[in-house]
Structure 1
Amino acid sequence: MAQKKARPSVEKFKEFVKKHPKLRQEVKNGNHTWQDLFEEWYMFGGDHEQWEAYRGETAEEASGNEKEKSDQSSKSELMTLLLHSVKNMDINQIQQYIANANQALGAIQGVISSFQGEQPKVEEQVVQEQQQRPNPFVFRKD
């Protein structure tokens, strides 16, 4: 059986649809029929502004995707650098810094409570509770 050769306008419309892949989705969704789209394309031409919504990924979108990929790679590089830095930290030294900060905060609380005046009983209770509680920043080796 011999194949019928399609009209040149049909072939051009097929090329147009390849450049505007979102048209296929419109037909699948039932928003348009191929006949309606062909007639509009034939009347208005492929350069009409109504077809811009159906165009494939533009150069701007492609560059936006490239930018997202570069952002993700820079984030992964940052995470790698951060994890490498954490590996190289001396836990004992960090624990000492935290203990010093804890003492400094205790001294600041003492100064503030001395200016408040009337609440020495509450301050003593807080100090006793702090002394009874274990240090939450203690790191122990397994």
Structure 2
Amino acid sequence: MASKKPHPSVQKFKEFVKEHPKLVQEVRKGNKEWQEVFEDWYLLGEKDVVWKQYKDENSEEQSEEKKADFMSQMFSAVKNMDMNTVNHHISNMSSTISTIQGLFDQFGLSKSSGQKSSGSNQQPFSFRKD
């Protein structure tokens, strides 16, 4: 059963509401109804001054601040790393992976052993000459 897609204007309205989260709060408080908001949006358009009071401008600024803060934390973490310790951990992981691969080979659980046991013929189909 195919899912029914909403009308393009409804999709645009949903995007508009995401950009204006205070509208959701107004509807939840009971001050407005979705039908009323939709009709106003349809008649007035997205750019009308009425909608400025419902736009959450702080969220955009906060997201930019969070991005900048995250990048500064990453740079400081990289700056504070001891490369000898990082190298030591990488070599430990490498030896651990090698040990695990050796165990798989020993017990016949590797990918290559499964291919070898399938038969000496490399072709999936056998053709005979008449």
TM range (shorter): 0.3 to 0.5
